[in-house]
Amino acid sequence: TLLELDTAKLYTTNDEGTTWYVKPANYPAMFGTPTLNSANNGSARWDRGSTSPLDQKSSTGWLAGLTGGVQTGDDYAREEIPVDELPVPAFISALWSYYMSAAEVYGVNLVIWIHDPTDFDKRVEVTQAPSGVTLEKGSGWNAHELDVTVTQFFYYGENVSGSDLTAGTQYTWAQFQADPLFKDWTIYRLTLEMGWYSTGTFDDVWVADIKLNGQLIRQGPASGTHRKTVSVQKTMIASTKGAGDVYSENATTGTDWDFDFGGIGYITKGVIMHDAQMSERFVLYLFSQPPTSETDDNVANTSPLTADALFFLGVIEFPAMSYVQTGDAISVATPSDLGHLPLLFDSPVVYGILVGQDGDTTVVEALTIILSADMEDN
């Protein structure tokens, strides 16, 4: 019988020479449940891959949505995976896939956090160069397979003495594994990161599949519920609406407002903003399928229709818009208002028709609707 410490696999060989892999029922996992973290302009959240292309990967259907945002040097989003003191020489393989909404100068890179298991004052983070040529950075699906022989890792940390490696210089992971200091250290955390650049904006990326030392990492939130905020913007046309008119982006080819939550839950908050001096009281009709009612701007509302009754979810009534000086006009609906919140929805995408009760004037600027929801994890 043989137990591989790096993969937690138990092999047993029978008398006739046949070898079987036996997974112990209660053997503790080397890698724990992943969580998400972000700082400054970065943001991180769990997303359901309910529509293509995000539904193509992830064993659980969950993806870690990482947005680096505006980059000023310390803006990031990351997925954090706890590690149960894995010896540095024992970490031999890592694979991960990720979808990038736009090509970037950085890819989703691996950071290996290690310390002296006998003295936690001594620790470093070993960072894979995010701009490295082996790390894919193109728009669409990307994947990376760790090659321990490629020069791509550098470290920074505290209380480091006795290493043959210089902080800030790139080495192979194999060199860290053979280093007289680091070979006796252990891994306490692994992170997959997006950010840490000095200029520009990093768009959304989604981490789908992760496999570490042969162990598949289960993606998804662990709390039973999670929160998600979805924003939709449309550039309005300059026009004065009458009471009960629809607000959309075009007078003849207007469309509904689509909120892709990627799951089911309860809408708990709504915000409307527009760069105009408005006092309109908006009503947002919501559906689980695209409604057949009027969607053109500055046309009398017909929603909800009997034809849409089977997928009508309800309505959010917003307080009157208000503004101060030259700021945008805003309106916020919460459960404390008479806005019919929280509002249950049972489809990944919620479709809205925005109607004004009083009539008002829009300008050629974005009108933004922001909906926040408490999402179920299943």
State the pLDDT confidence band at 7, using cuts at 50, 70 and 90.
Answer: low
Rounded to the nearest integer, the mean pLDDT of the chain is 91
pLDDT digits 0-9 by tens, 322-351: 999 888 899 999 997 778 899 999 888 999
pLDDT at 3: 57
- 5 falls in which pLDDT band (50, 70, 90)? low
Q: What is the pLDDT of residue 18?
A: 61
pLDDT for the residue 147: 97
Q: Label residue 16 by pLDDT band (50, 70, 90).
A: low
CA distance 94 to 216: 10
Give CATH for domain 226-376: 2.60.120
Q: Which residues belong to CATH 2.60.120 in the chain? A: 31-222, 226-376
What tens digit of pLDDT does each residue of 266-306 get?
Answer: 999 999 999 888 999 999 999 999 999 999 999 999 999 99
Helix residue ranges per DSSP H, 163-206: 173-178
Distance CA 181, CA 177 (A): 9
CA 139 vs CA 104, 202, 251: distances in Å: 8, 12, 34
Preceding amide of 304 cis, omega within 30:
yes
pLDDT at 26 over 50: no
Tell me what pLDDT residue 79 has. Answer: 97
**Interval 44-77: pLDDT, tens:** 888 888 788 999 999 999 999 999 999 999 999 9
Residue 204: other Cβ atoms inside 10 A: 18
pLDDT tens-digit profile of 110-132? Answer: 999 999 999 999 999 999 999 99
What's the pLDDT score for residue 8?
A: 53
**Is 121 in contact with 158 (CB distance < 8 Å)?**
yes
Angle at 187 between CA 185 and CA 8, to 5 degrees: 110
Q: What is the pLDDT of residue 294?
A: 97
- Domain 31-222 -> CATH class: mainly beta
Residue-by-residue DSSP string for 231-300: EEEEEPPSEEPPTTBB--S-SSS---EEEE-SS-EEEEEEEEEESS-----EEEEEESS---S--STTSB
Record the tokens describing residue 4, joined without a space: 């591989």
Instruction: Find the mean pLDDT for residues 149-168.
Output: 97
Two structure tokens written together for 204: 């959304």
Q: Using one digit for the tens of pLDDT, what is the confidence trace for 208-263?
A: 999 999 999 999 987 777 888 999 999 999 999 999 999 999 999 999 999 988 77
> Over 70: is that where the pLDDT of 22 sits?
no
pLDDT score of 181: 98
